[in-house]
Structure 1
Amino acid sequence: MWESVGVILPAFGLIAIGFVAVRTRLVSERAGEGLSEFVYTLAVPCLIFRTLARAEVPAVQPWGYWIAYFAGVAVVWALAMLVAGRLFGLAPAERVLAGFSAGQSNTVLVGVPIILRAYGEEGAVPLFLLIAVHLPIMVAAASLLIEGRDASLIGIVRRLLVNPIIVAILLGSAARPLGAFIPEPAWRIAELIGSAAVPCALFAMGAALHRYGLTAGLPLPTIVSGLKLVLHPLIVYWLATRVFTMPPAWTGVAVLFAACPTGVNAYLLAERYRQGVALTSSAVSLSTMLAMGTIFVWLQVLGK
């Protein structure tokens, strides 16, 4: 229990500090946005690059690990779309965004800090192997569902290939056989920038909470948050422990990844399509606030 408290309190304490700092104007909204940009474009990519370039990656692809996670995504996505359409009468694009909000985890600003805190180096490889496929699959699926026949696969791929996280994954994988030829100062620079990822990401998340707010009310965002924080990790936990065989650390990473709150990409996607902005911003804010309690419970379930 106390180990779980040691994981949760520093993480959500930094989120609270970020929120209060912006709320009291100790730090400007612009500074919070700049910090988010630094985390997303430099700090986390450096952390991913350094980890993948030097880590022991399993020779066999962990299909059961990925299937356990994305089966959970599929279930909560479908349920959120059904609820958004049948009970709230939302338009098709908004239903997709409700589903995306229920299935898409905040990997960069919340997932990376909490999972690395809970599992350390042992959890780094499964964490980044999941990040490697999470963003492409989620964004591509949402774009195809929203755009329908007008969707451009080339455009989707092009957007993904310039994403800093995807670039870091590709470069980290390519650098594995060349690691001995990379000078030590270069590794040290990547380490220094990457070490800023965890505290900066959590502070930036707090600043983002102040920016997004709860403009869509509570009913649908509460349902979406429940699917995201409770049902999604429950499905992943059942599949990882009852259906597939994997090391305990991999199970824990997959469950905590699923237990993370709705990621800010849901809001960014809504902004891009000019639909469901209030819903996604509310889902991001509410799920992040509730996640402190639910992640604590999941850490207990996982023995952390």
Structure 2
Amino acid sequence: MAAQDGRLPVNALTIIAPIFGIVLIGWGAALAGLISDKVSDGLSEYVFAIAVPALIVSTLTRPGMTGEVAWSYWFSYFGGAAASWFTGTLIARRRTGIDRRGTILHGFAASQSNTVFVGVPMILQAYGEDGAFPLFMLLAVHLPLMMGCATFLVESDANKSILARLRGLALVLLKNPIFLSLGVGMAMKALGVTPSGFPKALIDAFAGTASTCALVALGAGLKRYRVLFDLRGATVIALLKNILHPLAVWLLAFHVFSMPVAYAGVAVLFAAMPVGINAYLMAVRYKTETGMIAASVLVSTLLAPITTLLWLAVLGKT
């Protein structure tokens, strides 16, 4: 088990209240008609294409942003993700009316974290500078690995060669602003390039809007999801995502492997985030289980203030 870092704990409510308070305000504004679907879509696109990439580049190129990620860190997080994915798929197979692709997407939803809209602001708030490096390293690996596995498994029975599937995945990733900004930020860091003057001011200006805009966009987008599509099934996926996934990571990070306490905490909180929007986008793309996955996004997000508070308490952030 990793050693304790000796810092004074942070009150968990001061971490989650602003995060989920902004989400609820965005949701309420959308329900009241103060934010239209067009505005919500535009805000989401801005966050995904500009604000969060700027935050990533700004953070990775910050002086003193260094660290080393051991294999135990990756095994802990993705081992927990695999456990939740397998469980979600197994449960879906026991239900009638769900095809092979649908069972895979159930498992994917149970292990795919909402990193951009909730994970980044939450973890930076909880662990600050100590958590920034492991957070963005995990973000860099999480996106291509999880999306790659889901795409490969769903299309494994398609009439495409492995090379064609890998080529399609590469094209998707190369068009993804988050993936590109991670590459740019790590390249600049490796070359010792640190923005200054006007470029730094510009990057920081966009980066400063990322958290609030992301949370408002998430809240406004929740209006489109319908819980009543299958409340029981959506709740099962939400509990797997919010409870089983971080539980498996916590056991591995704190009781099987050894790593700095901030790294272990980041991995657990990353896993504790609600179902990510990528699960819904995959369901739409493959035209299966769309309603169920959409409902699970909403249910897991609504449960997240409670479950995140519990995990922050487990991590000593109370």
Deviations along 1:105-163, one digit per CA (max 9) or x if unpaired, are 00000101111111112111111011001010111111111111435110111111111
Unaligned runs of 5+ in 1: none
Match of 2:247 in 1: 234
Q: Structure 1 residues 239-248 or 206-215, which shifts more?
A: 206-215
Match of 2:4 in 1: none
In structure 1, how many angstroms separate the alpha carbons of the residues matched to 2:193 and 2:106?
46
Question: Does the CA-based 8 Å contact 1:215-1:281 persist in structure 2?
Answer: no
Distance 1:192 1:240, change over 3 A: same
1:76 to 84, 88, 91: 84
2:211 to 179, 198, 205: 198
Tell me, what secondary structure is at the counterpart of 2:274?
coil
Question: Does the CA-based 8 Å contact 1:215-1:279 persist in structure 2?
Answer: no
Distance 1:188 1:179, change over 3 A: farther
Distance 1:175 1:205, change over 3 A: same
1:37 to 45, 54, 73: 45
Q: Structure 1 residues 78-87 or 211-220, which shifts more?
A: 211-220
Tell me, what secondary structure is at the counterpart of 2:110?
helix
Question: Does the CA-based 8 Å contact 1:214-1:286 persist in structure 2?
Answer: yes
Q: Structure 1 residues 173-182 or 255-264, which shifts more?
A: 173-182
1:1-304 equivalences in 2 (<5 Å): 3-54=11-62, 55-58=64-67, 60-150=68-158, 151=160, 152-180=165-193, 182-304=195-317
Match of 2:6 in 1: none
Q: Structure 1 residues 78-87 or 215-224, which shifts more?
A: 215-224
Deviations along 1:76-98, one digit per CA (max 9) or x if unpaired, are 11111111111344100110110
In structure 2, how many angstroms separate the alpha carbons of the residues matched to 1:276 and 1:124?
35
Tell me, what secondary structure is at the counterpart of 1:19?
helix
Question: Does the CA-based 8 Å contact 1:215-1:278 persist in structure 2?
Answer: no
Distance 1:169 1:180, change over 3 A: closer
Tell me, what secondary structure is at the counterpart of 1:103?
coil
Percent identity among equivalent residues?
44
Q: Structure 1 residues 25-34 or 146-155, which shifts more?
A: 146-155
- Once the 2 structures are TM-superposed, how far is the Cα of residue 244 of structure 1 from its aligned partner? 1.1
- Once the 2 structures are TM-superposed, how far is the Cα of residue 184 of structure 1 from its aligned partner? 2.3
In structure 2, how many angstroms separate the alpha carbons of the residues matched to 1:261 and 1:162?
25
Tell me, what secondary structure is at the counterpart of 2:262?
helix
Q: How many residues end up aligned between the 2 structures? A: 303
Question: Does the CA-based 8 Å contact 1:19-1:209 persist in structure 2?
Answer: yes
- Once the 2 structures are TM-superposed, how far is the Cα of residue 181 of structure 1 from its aligned partner? 6.6
In structure 2, how many angstroms separate the alpha carbons of the residues matched to 1:237 and 1:181?
35
- Once the 2 structures are TM-superposed, how far is the Cα of residue 99 of structure 1 from its aligned partner? 0.5
Deviations along 1:58-81, one digit per CA (max 9) or x if unpaired, are 3x5421111100011111111111
Question: Does the CA-based 8 Å contact 2:188-2:194 persist in structure 1?
Answer: no
TM-score normalised per structure 1: 0.96
1:134 counterpart letter in structure 2: H
Q: Structure 1 residues 117-126 or 212-221, which shifts more?
A: 212-221
In structure 2, how many angstroms separate the alpha carbons of the residues matched to 1:180 and 1:93?
44
In structure 1, how many angstroms separate the alpha carbons of the residues matched to 2:96 and 2:270?
28
In structure 1, how many angstroms separate the alpha carbons of the residues matched to 2:85 and 2:122?
24
Tell me, what secondary structure is at the counterpart of 1:148?
coil
Runs of 4+ in 1 over 3 A off after TM superposition: 177-183
